[in-house]
Amino acid sequence: MKRQQLRAAGRMVLALAQVTCAVALAGPGIDWPEVPLPSSSAGELVTGHMKNNGVDMRASQFATTQPLADVIEFYKRKWPDHVVNQMGGKTVIGHAEGDFMTTISLVSAGGATEGIIGTSKLPREKIEYVMGDGFDKPPGTEVFNDIIYYDTADKSRTLGMTNTLSPFQNYQYYAQRMRGQGWKLQKSRPCSMVSRSCVAMFEKDDGEKIALTLQRQQAATTQIVVNIE
């Protein structure tokens, strides 16, 4: 297994922990492999089929009363061909088999263990995918995450972006640009030139909605999370 592939997949799994999704049925068309769970586990599906930065993926989560060390040993026994890394304060176990890569992000929780499971379908050819395609962005904005959920009725989408503009400058940019594209500003958290965080919600007459969360980071950059429904 290439370590860069594991790191990329691990970042996908860690990002899932920051995204709230409804539990849904598995997406059609892909025969996803079964992922074993330790004994005394309770689990649920997070998303049955999504496209994460151009890669087909599904995700679930579980909790077990077993301690972290025992859970790590469980997967080492199940998957002799595996890689273990520490990422973002979590233990990430990676395993590739056939056309799929599975990564499990584990964290200790009061003597028990919680896990986020991500299974990716490895592309056979180079992916021609433009991150953030079709969504307006201020100049100099970098898109670091682009997720489309196929198991929601409207194919909801989440974008993660960053730029060097302040939250207020980003807020002004989108308030002006989206008004010209037929969006109406529904409600927002008060945003001023000194605000470190701002929220804006837009809606069209057909019911389509966009929520933007703007958060100033320590490195004089602003992180933008966009939820499109």
User: What CATH number did the domain enclosing 147 receive?
Assistant: 3.30.310
Residue 26 has pLDDT above 80, yes or no: no
Q: Are residues 154 and 214 in the same domain?
A: yes
Residue 1 has pLDDT above 90, yes or no: no
Domain assignment present for residue 45? The answer is yes
Q: Are residues 22 and 111 in the same domain?
A: yes
Averaged pLDDT, 187-213: 91
Residue 161: exposure state from Cβ atoms within 10 A (0-12, 13-18, ≥19): buried
Contacts of 49 (CB under 8 A, 6+ apart): 26, 27, 28, 29, 30, 56, 57, 58, 149, 150, 151
Q: Write down the pLDDT at residue 211.
A: 95
- The alpha carbon dihedral of 3, 42, 70, 66 has a sign of positive
Q: Are residues 15 and 115 in the same domain?
A: yes
Q: Are residues 223 and 154 in the same domain?
A: yes
Choosing from 70, 89, 121, the residue where a domain stops is: 121
Single out the residue of 13, 18, 170 nearest to residue 101, CA to CA.
13
Averaged pLDDT, 167-196: 91
Q: Are residues 14 and 106 in the same domain?
A: yes
What's the domain count of the chain?
2
CA distance 216 to 64: 36
Averaged pLDDT, 73-98: 94
Q: Write down the pLDDT at residue 170.
A: 97
Single out the residue of 46, 35, 1, 33 nearest to residue 121, CA to CA.
33
